[in-house]
Structure 1
Amino acid sequence: MLHQFAPLRFRRKLASISLLLVIVQNETSIAPIINSIYKILTNPKIDNLNPKFTSHFINSKIDTELDEKYIKSYLEFRQSKHLYDPIITLSVYLNYLNTQYSENSVKIPFSWEDWVDLSYLNEFLDDGKSLTCKQFVDKYKYEIDFEWNDSTPSSSLVDKTNCLDTMDYIITDEGKHRSKKLLPGFNFQKKLDKVSTFMGKAYNAKSYLLSYAPKPDFIYFLTDNGKYFRAETKQSSSMLRNGLLKNFLTSESYNGFNPIEQLSKLNKFYEIEHEHTFKLRLNNDNNYQIDIPDENFDVDFATRYKYLFETDDSLLKDNELNFKNSLKRSFQMKTEDIPKYLDEVNITPNHEYRGHKVRENGNHYDSRFFAGFISEMPASEISIHNPRSILNNSEIKSTATPENIKNSILSHLSHLLFTVTFNDGLFLIPAHGTLLSWYFNSMSFPWDEDADVQMPIGDLAEFCLRYNNSMVVENPKYGTAKGYVDCGTAITHREKGNGNNIIDARIIDVDSGMYIDITGLSVSEDEMDENYLKKFDKWVSNELKIDYNILQESRQKEVEMERAYKLRDERERAEKEKLQRERELLKIEKENLEKEKESFEAAKKNYDNKENKNDADDKQRKEKRNLEKSVKDIHKQHKIFNCRNRHFYSYDQFSPLRLTLYEGAPTLVAVNDSALRSQVEIDHDALFNTEHKNYHFSKPLRAWLYAYDILQAELAIGLNPKPDKSVNEIKKNNQIEAREVCPTYRENQVKVFYELVKQSIYDTTSEDLIYTYEYLMDEERNLKNQSQVINYLSKIPVYFKTEKKPFINIFEEVYHNKELTHAHEAEMKLYDNTWNLSDPNIIDNLKPLTNKESLGEWMLKDHAPPRVPLYDYIKFAEQEFKIDKTE
C-alpha cells in the first residue's frame, strides 16, 4: 500500500513531468526532451542531494545519532556472526595507519574477516547447522575419485580434500587467528578444483578466505591526484579480536566513521607520487601525446632484474622476493609444460537452482573470491548487502538489479586499475571489447562481465613487481572497491605454448570475484598466419613479407634437405648391413678369411670417410641455419609484437598514444583513428552498430537503453512492435532483442522516449529529483544553504512504489555519465572525423571542450567513476523499503 502522502507526491510527479515535457508538444525532434534533462541534471544544486544519484560517499557516513546504537549492534553481531561494513573497516584501518606513521612504522595487521563479506557462512554457525568436510562435499555434489567414510578423520584425507574439520583446524597455526564460534565446520586450505554446484563453490571460496587465504603483501590506499599510501601487512585476527576497533572507539579523536576524513588525516610525508607519472609527462606536451619506447616490448629478464638475483633474500621486500622466485620458476619451466595458473570457477553444468537451470558459467569469476552468480539468485540471497540489512536479521528486500550491481563493480574496478597504472607511468591500454566500449562512450558495455587490457611486457613486469599479491583500495571519495592483483608465474615465456596461460595477470574484485584480464605484448617466436600478414600491409614495409617468404623458403629447403639426408642415411644403413652380413660370411669361409678381411677393412675405411663427410655437412647446415633470421628476429626488426593468444600488432598501431578517459580514469589510446579501429579486430560496421543483443545505443543520451524497457514503453502507448515471441513469453524473462523493438522505436521516437522519461520519474527515489529541482528553483523559499534543503528532504516520507521500474533509469544514467560522455564526444570530434555516435541537436549545458589544451587539462583532473558506488547503490536499494530496525 502506498504511503498516505503518495497521492500528493504522485500529483507532484505528474506536474513535474508536465513541466519537463511541455516543450515537446507539437515537436517532432527528441532534442527538446534531452536538452530539458541535461538542463536539470547539470544544475550544481542537484549534486549530493540523493543517495542513489550521488557519485561519492558524502552520504555514507553513519549518522551521529545512530553511532552508539549501530555500533552496539555491530559489536554484538560480530561476536557470533560474520558482518562486513566497508565504512567501519576503512575508518578503523586508516586510523590505525595514522598511528603507525606517528610511530615511524607502516606495518598493519590484516584479516580477510574485516575486508570481505563472509555472511554466507552465517547459516552454518547456528547450533546444529555446521557441516563436516564430508557432509559439505556430499551436500554440494563435489566430484571426488576416492573413498571417504564418515568415520575417517579429516586430517588423514587433507591432501586430497584440502579441507579440515573445525576440531582439526583450530589447532593449526592458521587456526590460532580465528574464533571457533565463527568457523562453519569445514575449513578449506585451497579453492577446490573439482566440479560442484555454484553455491558449493561460493561457500568453498568464503571458507578459504576465512581459514587459509594468505594476506596481501601490501595494501595501497588511493588518494587524490593519483597518489597513494602503501602499508605492509602482517597476518592477524580480526579487528574485533586484535584491539583495532576498540582502540578506535575509545580514542580521544573518535568522531564517528568517516573514511574520507580519516584519509585526510594521514601524514602527507608518507604519501607516494610516482616520479614517472604520465601526468607530469603529458602536461609538458601541448598535444597530450606520448610514445611507447619500443624496447618495452622486448625484455631480457635475467639482465633487467639481475639486481634481484644478486641481493640476499633477507634484504628484499616481500614483493621483490616473490617476483624473484616467480622469475626463477619461469626460467625453469618449458613453455609446453606450464600448468594453468589463474583459475576460474568450475561448476556442474546444467544444474538447477531455485527451480531454474543455471545460465551463468564460472568463466568470468575468480574462484578464490567467488560470491555466487549475481544474476541467478534472488535479491535476498546475493552476498553483497547493506550491513544494516543483515543486522536486521529478516528477509532482505531490494530493488537492486544484477546488471546494475555488475556494472558498478566493473566500473569501479576499471577505475582502480587505470588510475594506478597511469599514475605509476605504466602503459596500460584498453583492448578487444573494452576498447570497442570505450569507442562508444568511454564506459564498459552494460552487458560486460569482465574487461580486457594490454601492457607492453616491460610495463607488465614492473606492474607485477610492484603490485602482485597486493590489494588496491579505492579512494573513499569514490567508493569502497578493492582490487586484488594476481600475476602468473611464467612471465618470461611469450609464446602460446599449451594455451593454459594466455592471460598474464588479473586484478580481481574482492567482493565478487569479477576481474579484468591483463595480457602482455612482446616480440616472440609465435608466427603470424596469412590473415595477419595481409592485415599488416598498411602498417609495415614489404620487407616483412619478404623476410617471412625467405623464412618459409628456407624451411622448405630444409625439409627437402632433411629428406635427402634421410635417403642417404637409409642407403648407408643398407650398405652397412650388407657389410655386416659379409663379415658373418667371412667366419664361415675360413679359407678366404684374409682376402675377405682386407676387402672388409677397405669398405669400412670408405664408410668412415663418408661418416666424416656427413658430420661436416651437418655442421655446415647448422651454421647456415644460425645465420638465417628467426621469427623473433623478424618481429623485432619490423616491430611486431603479440600477446600469448596470438593477437599480433605493429608498433605503429599503438604509438604514439594520446590521453583519454575510461570509466572516469585517465588512460591512453592510439592517436591514429585507423590504428584504433584496426586494434578492435572486428568488422568495421560494429563500430557504428547501435544495436547489440538486448540493448540499443541512444545517441542523444550517449548511453545504452535496455530493449525490454523500450518494449514496455511501446506497449504502454499502444504501439505494436510485433516481436518474434509473445509478450507474455518475453515478460517471463524480461528480455527481448533490440532488433525486435527498434524499428517501431525509430518510427515513434519522441512518443517512446516520452514514456521512458515518465517511467524513469516513477523510479526516482523518495527525494524526488524533479521535485527537488523545482523546490531549489523556488525563490520564495529563500533557502540560505544546502543543509536546509537536505534537512527538508530528509523529512519527506518513504513509500512503497508500485509502478513499473525501468531497467535503465534515464535520469540516473545521464547524471552519472554526463561529464564523461560530454568530454568523450568532444575528444572524438577532435581526433576522429568518422565518429558519428552523437546528435548535433543535443545541448548538454556543460562547458564546451573545443581544443586539445582545454580537453587535456580537464582529463588530467580527478574524476569519479560514472557508476554509483556499489555499497551506496545497495544501501539505497535496501533502505528504500525502510527495513532497518535501528532507525
Structure 2
Amino acid sequence: MPRLNKLLSPRFLLKSFLFVTITYTIFVSTTTLFRQPTIKQYKKLLNQQIKHQFNQWYYNILASDYQLDTNKQFLKDVEVIREANLLSDDKNQLWDIKPDLNVPLSVELPEYLTHADSLKPIIQPFDPRLTLSVYYQYIEMNLQQQQQEENLKLPFHWSDWLDLSKLHKYIFNPVKYDLCSSMFNISGKAELIEGSKIFNISTYCEFKPNSVLGYNITHPSGAQTRPNRELLGKSYLYSAAPSPRKLIFLTNESSYQFEVQDYQVNNVNNSILYNDMIQEIANPSKVNVLDSYQSLVRSHPPSSSQNSDHQPLTSQTLHLPESLFSVDAPALVQELKQTPVEELSMMDRHFLETLEFSIGCFSPPKYFAEAKFLKKIKDHWMGEHYDWRFYNGLIIGKDEQAIVLHRLVKNYLNFARENGIITWIAHGSLLSWYWNGIAFPWDTDIDVQMPISELYKLGRYFNQSLVIENVGDSYNQFDGMGRYFIDVGSTITHRRKGNGNNNIDARFIDIDTGLYIDITGLALTTEPAPSRYDNFIEMDPFKKKFIMLNSKPNQLNHKVKNEQLKVYNCRNNHFSSYDELSPLVLTLVENQLSYIPSNFINILNDEYNMGSLSKKTYRGYTYLNNFRIWCKTSALSGFTRTTSKLINKHAKSEYELLKVNKLSIDDHLSLLTDNNIFKEWFKTMNFTNYHNLELKEIINKNFHKAGKLLDEYRKKYKLGNGLRPDYFINLIMFDNSRYDYLMQANDLVKLQKMYNNNNKKSQ
C-alpha cells in the first residue's frame, strides 16, 4: 500500500507525464521531420537536442532543487556552520575565507641587500613578494626619469623568480662532486630503467668542477627518478637556461611589456642579489608587494598598444573571419626578409628564424619535454603533466592542483584578452565549463584552441615571454603573484600530425610547479575530415561537383573539401566546423572573461557524447546539483541524515548514486560541516549560480540576454578575481618557515659563514 501511494503521488505523476511527453516528441520528430530529405542535414542537430533533453530529464528525475541561494533560513544556518567550522579549523584549511583575513604581503630585507659591507650569501631565498616589489619600484623609478616603456630593458635571472632551494646544498658546498656520474647517470640500473626511454648522460650533463654547482645540465634527460627529476630542471634554470625574451606585467586594464637584458645569457650576476636594482630604488628596508604594484599603476598607467591587432577583446559575440584559419607562411617569411633589418624587432627576428626552420624541417623532433618518470615508478604517468624545467614535486590530487590550474586559466585568459588574441577553452575544459564553469576536480591540465593566425601572433610577439599576474585587483585588494612562461613550438607551419611528436603547438606554463595549458591552433589543412560532415556535401550538389572537379580520379582533394565544408583541425586531428565555432560568445570561465564556441553542444557531443552533459557520477565523484559542485562520492558517507544508507563507500549502482541528489535541506547542512565541501561551495556559489542562468540563455542563443546577466553579475560581484588563493600565499599559510623571508635569508648568511670558516681552517 505505501508503494501504491508513492506511485500515485503528484510528484511521481508529474515526472511520468514529462517522460511520456519527451518520448512522444522523439517519436513525432523521427517519423515526420526525418521523412523530408531536404532537412537531412539537420538530423544530427535535432537528435542531439532530443538526447540532451531526455538525459537532462533522466538524471534530474530524482533530484531536488531547493534554491538554496535564496533560502533565508538555510543561509542563516550556513553562517552558524561557518563560524563553527572556523573555530574548529585546527589545520587552517579555511584561512582564505576568514572575515578578518590579513594577507602577509610585506617582506623585511636582510642587511646584505641594504648595506654593501655586510656578508652576502652566494644565493638568497626565493620570495615573489620581494622580487615583484623590487621590479615594480625599479620600473616606476625608470619611468619617472622619462625613460620610454619600450626602451627600458630589465635584468633577469631565474633564481629571483622560482624556488631553487633544492640546489642550495650543492651551491654552498665548496667540494664539487661529479653528480653527472654518481647521481644522474642511471644507465647501469637495469631493473630500474626497464621499459623506459633514457638518454645518454653525455647529452645533457657536463661535469664542471669550477662552476658554482659543479655540473651543468644543458638539455632534457629522458625518463628519470623522482629525486633526480626535480634537481635536473632546477639545475638547468640556474646555470644554463636562457632568460625570457620579455617580461609582461599584467594589470587590470592592460600590461607593461619590457625586453630582458642579455636574454640569451644565463648569468647569476643579473639577479637582485648581485645587480644594483635595490640600490637604485633608494635602499628600502621593507617592501610591500601590493603597495609597490599600486604605486606603479597610479603613477604610470600602462600604455595601450598602438597595434590594432593587440587591442583588448570586449564584444559579446565575436564573428570569426574565415581568413583566420589560413596563413601563407612562405609569404610571411618573404615579407619579414624584405623588411630592413633595423626595422625588425628582436621578437620579429626570432620569429623569422623559427618559420625558416619549420618550413625546412620535414620530420620534426619532439619540441616539448615533460618531467617523465621511469616506468617502474608507481604513477609514473603523472610526470607527463609537468614541464621538465619547472617541475617542483607532485601536486596532482592535492589541494594545490586546483589552485594552480585555476590561476593558470585566470592569467592565460586575461593575457590573451588584453592582447587581442582570439582563443577559447576546448576539450575537457569546455565540458567542465558546461557543468558549473569550473574545472573538474580530476583534471590535470587545461586545453585551449585558437585559429592558426592567432597562434602565429602568439609566436611572433610573445614567444619565450614571462607573464606576471596582476598583484592587485580593481578593488585595491591583493589578487595574486603567479608567473607563467609562454613557449611556442618550433614547427608551427606543420599542420598535419606527421610523426606525432608535436600535437601541441604551444604551452602556457606555471613556473612554480610546471603544470601547463596546452594550446593548439586550428587551420584549413589537407587532412581528411571526419565522416560526420559528409552529409553537408551530399546535400549540396554544387559543393559536391566543385570538389570532384578539383580532385584527381580516385584521389579526393581533401583541402578543397575542407574548404567547402569550412572545417579546421589541429595537429592531433580534432576537427571543428566554422558553424560550430563562430560566433564565439563571451562568458565567464572560473570567474574570468572568456570566449566559447556558440555551438559547443555539437562539439561536446562529437567528442564525448550526450551522456557527458547529463551524467552526474564520474571517476569517484558525484555532482551535487544544489551546491553545483563535484564532490568525492566517498566524502558523502556519514554526512547525511535521511538517505545515509544509500550513500556509502560501496555504492556502485548508478541508481543509488542518482539518489544523492534527493538529499534533504538538513542533509545539505550536514554536508557543509565538512571543511572541504563547505569551502568549495562557499567560494563558488555566486559564480556557479550565475553560470546556470547564463548557460540557459547561451543554449537558446539568447546572447543579448546572456550579456545582460553578465552586466548584472559584474555590478554585484568581483568579476575577474581568483576563486582560489594565490599559490605562494597558500604555501606560507601552511608553512611558517616560508613566512619570514628575513629569517630564511639570515640562515643562509650563517651557512655562508660556516663554509667560509671551514675553508680557512682547511687552508
Q: What range describes the TM-score normalised by the shorter chain of this pair?
A: 0.7 to 0.9
Structure 2: gaps of 5 or more residues:
1-63, 84-93, 191-198, 473-478, 745-763
Match of 1:53 among 97, 103, 108: 97
1:291-330 residue pairs with structure 2 within 5 A?
A: 291-304=319-332, 306-313=334-341, 315-330=343-358
**Could you report, residue by residue, the CA deviation over 1:13-60 in whole angstroms, capped at 9, with x for unpaired residues?**
xxxxxxxxxxxxxxx9865598467679999x99xxx85238999723
> Secondary structure, in 3 states, of the residue corresponding to 2:209?
helix
**Could you report, residue by residue, the CA deviation over 1:393-415 in whole angstroms, capped at 9, with x for unpaired residues?**
xxxxxxxxx53201111111111
Per the TM alignment, residue 117 of structure 1 is displaced from its structure 2 partner at its CA by 0.5
Residues 62/456 of structure 1: CA separation in 2 closer, same or farther (3 Å cut) = same
Residues 544/857 of structure 1: CA separation in 2 closer, same or farther (3 Å cut) = farther
What one-letter code is carried by the residue in structure 2 that aligns with 1:256?
A: V
Per the TM alignment, residue 449 of structure 1 is displaced from its structure 2 partner at its CA by 1.0
Match of 2:375 among 349, 358, 380: 349
1:157-196 residue pairs with structure 2 within 5 A?
A: 160-168=202-210, 170=211, 180=212, 183=213, 185-193=214-222, 195-196=223-224
Per the TM alignment, residue 92 of structure 1 is displaced from its structure 2 partner at its CA by 0.7
Do structure 1's residue 241 and structure 2's residue 293 form an aligned pair? no
Q: Does the 8 Å contact 1:219/1:471 carry over to 2?
A: yes
Aligned twin of 1:257: 288
Per the TM alignment, residue 262 of structure 1 is displaced from its structure 2 partner at its CA by 3.1
What one-letter code is carried by the residue in structure 2 that aligns with 1:257?
A: N
Distance in 2 between residues matched to 1:464 and 1:228, nearest whole Å: 18
Per the TM alignment, residue 634 of structure 1 is displaced from its structure 2 partner at its CA by 2.4
Per the TM alignment, residue 368 of structure 1 is displaced from its structure 2 partner at its CA by 1.5
Aligned twin of 1:225: 253
Distance in 1 between residues matched to 2:68 and 2:313, nearest whole Å: 42
Distance in 2 between residues matched to 1:514 and 1:368, nearest whole Å: 11
Do structure 1's residue 141 and structure 2's residue 177 form an aligned pair? no
Aligned twin of 2:364: 338
Aligned twin of 1:373: 394
What one-letter code is carried by the residue in structure 2 that aligns with 1:502?
A: N
Aligned twin of 1:853: 708
Aligned twin of 1:447: 442
What one-letter code is carried by the residue in structure 2 that aligns with 1:829?
A: K
Distance in 2 between residues matched to 1:271 and 1:741, nearest whole Å: 58
Distance in 2 between residues matched to 1:143 and 1:56, nearest whole Å: 57
Per the TM alignment, residue 687 of structure 1 is displaced from its structure 2 partner at its CA by 0.8
Per the TM alignment, residue 879 of structure 1 is displaced from its structure 2 partner at its CA by 4.5
**Could you report, residue by residue, the CA deviation over 1:191-232 in whole angstroms, capped at 9, with x for unpaired residues?**
213x21122121100000001010000000000124444443
Aligned twin of 1:480: 481
Per the TM alignment, residue 473 of structure 1 is displaced from its structure 2 partner at its CA by 0.6
Per the TM alignment, residue 643 of structure 1 is displaced from its structure 2 partner at its CA by 0.8
Give the alignment's Cα RMSD to 1 decimal: 4.2
> Secondary structure, in 3 states, of the residue corresponding to 1:636?
helix
How many matched pairs? 643
Distance in 1 between residues matched to 2:374 and 2:709, nearest whole Å: 54
1:793-832 residue pairs with structure 2 within 5 A?
A: 808-810=676-678, 812-832=679-699
Per the TM alignment, residue 256 of structure 1 is displaced from its structure 2 partner at its CA by 2.6
What one-letter code is carried by the residue in structure 2 that aligns with 1:855?
A: L
Residues 551/325 of structure 1: CA separation in 2 closer, same or farther (3 Å cut) = same
Aligned twin of 1:414: 409
Per the TM alignment, residue 137 of structure 1 is displaced from its structure 2 partner at its CA by 3.6
What one-letter code is carried by the residue in structure 2 that aligns with 1:350?
A: K
Residues 466/110 of structure 1: CA separation in 2 closer, same or farther (3 Å cut) = same
Q: Does the 8 Å contact 2:432/2:440 carry over to 1?
A: yes
TM-score, normalising length from structure 2?
Answer: 0.74
Per the TM alignment, residue 349 of structure 1 is displaced from its structure 2 partner at its CA by 0.8
Aligned twin of 2:729: 872
1:735-746 residue pairs with structure 2 within 5 A?
A: 742=657, 745-746=660-661
Per the TM alignment, residue 828 of structure 1 is displaced from its structure 2 partner at its CA by 1.0
Do structure 1's residue 99 and structure 2's residue 141 form an aligned pair? yes
Structure 1: gaps of 5 or more residues:
1-27, 146-156, 171-179, 352-356, 376-401, 559-628, 725-735, 761-807, 836-848
> Secondary structure, in 3 states, of the residue corresponding to 1:681?
helix
Distance in 2 between residues matched to 1:159 and 1:880, nearest whole Å: 36
Per the TM alignment, residue 702 of structure 1 is displaced from its structure 2 partner at its CA by 1.8
Residues 461/144 of structure 1: CA separation in 2 closer, same or farther (3 Å cut) = farther
Distance in 2 between residues matched to 1:851 and 1:42, nearest whole Å: 31
What one-letter code is carried by the residue in structure 2 that aligns with 1:501?
A: N
Distance in 1 between residues matched to 2:467 and 2:323, nearest whole Å: 28
Aligned twin of 1:595: none
Per the TM alignment, residue 642 of structure 1 is displaced from its structure 2 partner at its CA by 0.8
Residues 324/58 of structure 1: CA separation in 2 closer, same or farther (3 Å cut) = farther
Distance in 2 between residues matched to 1:468 and 1:881, nearest whole Å: 32
Per the TM alignment, residue 445 of structure 1 is displaced from its structure 2 partner at its CA by 1.2
Residues 498/57 of structure 1: CA separation in 2 closer, same or farther (3 Å cut) = farther
Distance in 1 between residues matched to 2:371 and 2:205, nearest whole Å: 18
**Could you report, residue by residue, the CA deviation over 1:475-523 in whole angstroms, capped at 9, with x for unpaired residues?**
0122111110111111112111111111111111111111111111011
Identity of aligned residues (%): 25
What one-letter code is carried by the residue in structure 2 that aligns with 1:198?
A: R
More deviation in 645-654 or 254-263? Answer: 254-263
Q: Larger radius of gyration, structure 1 or 2? A: 1
Asked which structure has the greater RCO (Cα within 8 Å, sep 6+), the reply is: 1
Per the TM alignment, residue 759 of structure 1 is displaced from its structure 2 partner at its CA by 2.5
Distance in 2 between residues matched to 1:528 and 1:671, nearest whole Å: 21
Do structure 1's residue 756 and structure 2's residue 671 form an aligned pair? yes
Per the TM alignment, residue 648 of structure 1 is displaced from its structure 2 partner at its CA by 1.5
Do structure 1's residue 494 and structure 2's residue 495 form an aligned pair? yes
> Secondary structure, in 3 states, of the residue corresponding to 2:586?
strand
Distance in 2 between residues matched to 1:823 and 1:277, nearest whole Å: 31
Per the TM alignment, residue 62 of structure 1 is displaced from its structure 2 partner at its CA by 2.1
Q: Does the 8 Å contact 1:486/1:506 carry over to 2?
A: yes
**Could you report, residue by residue, the CA deviation over 1:808-864 in whole angstroms, capped at 9, with x for unpaired residues?**
341x223432343233122112222599xxxxxxxxxxxxx9763352575698511
What one-letter code is carried by the residue in structure 2 that aligns with 1:499?
A: G
Match of 1:109 among 124, 134, 155: 155
Residues 109/747 of structure 1: CA separation in 2 closer, same or farther (3 Å cut) = same
1:679-698 residue pairs with structure 2 within 5 A?
A: 681-698=607-624
1:328-727 residue pairs with structure 2 within 5 A?
A: 328-334=356-362, 337-351=363-377, 357-358=378-379, 360-375=381-396, 402-477=397-472, 478-533=479-534, 541=540, 554-556=552-554, 630-672=557-599, 674-675=601-602, 677-678=604-605, 681-713=607-639, 719=645, 721=647, 723-724=649-650
Residues 128/327 of structure 1: CA separation in 2 closer, same or farther (3 Å cut) = closer
Match of 1:214 among 215, 225, 242: 242
Residues 699/142 of structure 1: CA separation in 2 closer, same or farther (3 Å cut) = farther
Distance in 1 between residues matched to 2:742 and 2:545, nearest whole Å: 76
Residues 738/212 of structure 1: CA separation in 2 closer, same or farther (3 Å cut) = farther
What one-letter code is carried by the residue in structure 1 that aligns with 2:239?
A: S
> Secondary structure, in 3 states, of the residue corresponding to 1:816?
helix
Q: Does the 8 Å contact 2:367/2:489 carry over to 1?
A: yes
Distance in 2 between residues matched to 1:164 and 1:295, nearest whole Å: 48
> Secondary structure, in 3 states, of the residue corresponding to 2:372?
coil
Residues 95/834 of structure 1: CA separation in 2 closer, same or farther (3 Å cut) = closer
Residues 221/649 of structure 1: CA separation in 2 closer, same or farther (3 Å cut) = same
**Could you report, residue by residue, the CA deviation over 1:629-663 in whole angstroms, capped at 9, with x for unpaired residues?**
73212222331211111112211111112111212
Aligned twin of 1:609: none
Per the TM alignment, residue 296 of structure 1 is displaced from its structure 2 partner at its CA by 0.4
